[in-house]
Amino acid sequence: MGPSKQVPIIVTGGAGFIGANIVAALNERGHRNIIIVDRLGRGEKWKNLRGLQFEDFIDKDKFRDQVEHAAFKTPAAIIHMGACSATTELDADYLMRNNTGYTRMLADWALRENFRFITASSAATYGDGSRGYCDDDEATHGLSPLNMYGLSKHLFDEWALARGHYKRIVGLKFFNVFGPREAHKDNMRSVPHKAYHEVLAKGHISLFRSDRPDYGDGHQMRDFVYVKDAVSVVLHFLDNPQIGGLYNCGTGIARTWLQLAQAVFAAMDRETKINWVDLPPSLLGKYQYFTEADQRKLRTQGQYTKPFLTLEESVADYVKWLVAGNP
């Protein structure tokens, strides 16, 4: 099943959150001929490489240079998870180069050499959700992301759709993914990871108050996706190279932040205690109050049939990982 183990699979962002989990899942399948492309920097990202089996590690700029100068052999596939995912990043030029431009270059290479290309888009492309969360091609045009990160992903999607590229490649609009191997993300870690450590340190979980009358405190809703499900979707499309398209990757069931907090307390066998904090000025007007993946295209055109874990199942599994001392 899937690509040959003799030809390398490239995972960009392979030391990052979703990328490292993809490499681990490929290892479980017996794949060792994997090239990880990333930049480790001075943080704790390197810890995600522990226990993974791969052929080589290449700095992302060196890799880009090799691809641009045709100095890299054709791989079996590129799973492109490498990007700046900080929704608070203000350097728009950097996001255009690092997210939009880099992805276009790799997609062009894959289409030219006819190998599998799977890339990460984002639910941030949907903006405030007023146009819904439908991933049909026509519905994608005209979306208005709330931040430059979301726009950098949307611009690639528009580019690929306009050229018909999504007939041959796959883009995944990840919703709120959480789970193992995200500790290095600092302030961009998921709420479940922050919540677990906050409960240990302070006995409570901090949640944003609502500044909208139609949502009570803690009743803002998101589509929370466990990373194991996100990886399962990626591998499904790796195994089925005949399927192309832009797809939502979410459970299709929105849950409240309060329900998420209650799931963390239940998994830790603690009493629920919430510390309410005001939404910071930097997020005013840029905060999504509701996200919920429309799964119809994934289930029909994408032919993905596996059920997603519930929020409670996902959180319980993640807490077990954290209790065991994993990052």
The pLDDT tens digits for 124-156 are: 999 999 999 999 999 999 899 989 999 999 999
Say yes or no to pLDDT of 305 above 80: yes
- What residues contact 239, with CB distance under 8 A and at least 6 apart? 1, 2
Concatenate the DSSP letters of all residues of 175-239 into one string.
Answer: -EEE-SS-GGGGGGS-HHHHHHHHHHHHSSEEEEPP-STTS-TT--EE-EEEHHHHHHHHHHHHH
In a domain, 205, yes or no: yes
For the CA atoms of 264, 268, 273, 274, the dihedral, rounded to the nearest 10 degrees, stands at -30
> Regarding beta strands 170-174 and 77-80, do their DSSP bridges make them parallel or antiparallel, or are they unpaired?
unpaired
In a domain, 321, yes or no: no
Q: What is the CATH number of the domain that holds 59?
A: 3.40.50.720
In a domain, 172, yes or no: yes
In a domain, 322, yes or no: no
Do 126 and 165 belong to one domain?
Answer: yes
Which residue range is the domain that position 83 belongs to? Answer: 9-178+223-252+290-308
Do 137 and 211 belong to one domain?
Answer: no
- What residues contact 160, with CB distance under 8 A and at least 6 apart? 107, 166, 169, 171, 246
pLDDT for 18 equals 98
In a domain, 326, yes or no: no
pLDDT-based confidence at 202, cuts 50/70/90?
very high
Do 66 and 135 belong to one domain?
Answer: yes
Q: Which helix (H) or strand (E) holds 37?
A: strand 34-38
Say yes or no to pLDDT of 187 above 90: no
Residue 104, phi then psi, degrees to nearest 5: -60, -45
Do 83 and 170 belong to one domain?
Answer: yes
What mean pLDDT is predicted for residues 7-31? 97
Do 216 and 236 belong to one domain?
Answer: no
- 8 A C-beta contact, residue 122 and residue 173: yes
Active site residue 73: no
Do 102 and 15 belong to one domain?
Answer: yes
pLDDT for 6 equals 85
Identify the CA nearest to 196 among candidates 245, 243, 260.
Answer: 260
Mean pLDDT of the chain: 95
pLDDT for 4 equals 76
pLDDT for 1 equals 59
- 8 A C-beta contact, residue 37 and residue 12: yes
Q: Would you give the DSSP letter of residue 297? A: H
- What angle separates helix 311-323 from helix 227-239, to the nearest 10 degrees? 110
Active site residue 149: yes
Concatenate the DSSP letters of all residues of 40-102 into one string.
Answer: -TTSSGGGGGTT---SEEEEHHHHHHHHHTT-S---SEEEE--S---TT---HHHHIIIIIIH
Do 85 and 108 belong to one domain?
Answer: yes
Do 191 and 268 belong to one domain?
Answer: yes
> Regarding beta strands 255-256 and 221-222, do their DSSP bridges make them parallel or antiparallel, or are they unpaired?
antiparallel
Considering the candidates 149, 166, 247, 304, report the single residue annotated as catalytic: 149
In a domain, 314, yes or no: no
The string of pLDDT tens digits covering residues 171-184 is 999 999 999 999 99
In a domain, 318, yes or no: no
Q: Which two tokens stand for residue 175?
A: 């919703």
- The percentage of the chain sitting over the pLDDT mark of 70, rounded to a whole number, equals 100
- Determine the Cα–Cα distance for residues 51 and 267; give it in Å rounded to an integer: 26
The number of distinct structural domains making up the chain is 2
The string of pLDDT tens digits covering residues 84-97 is 887 778 899 999 99
Identify the CA nearest to 288 among candidates 327, 244, 323, 254.
Answer: 254
Do 150 and 188 belong to one domain?
Answer: no
Do 303 and 238 belong to one domain?
Answer: yes
In a domain, 323, yes or no: no
Q: Which two tokens stand for residue 22?
A: 């993809």
Considering the candidates 47, 185, 194, 228, report the single residue annotated as catalytic: 185
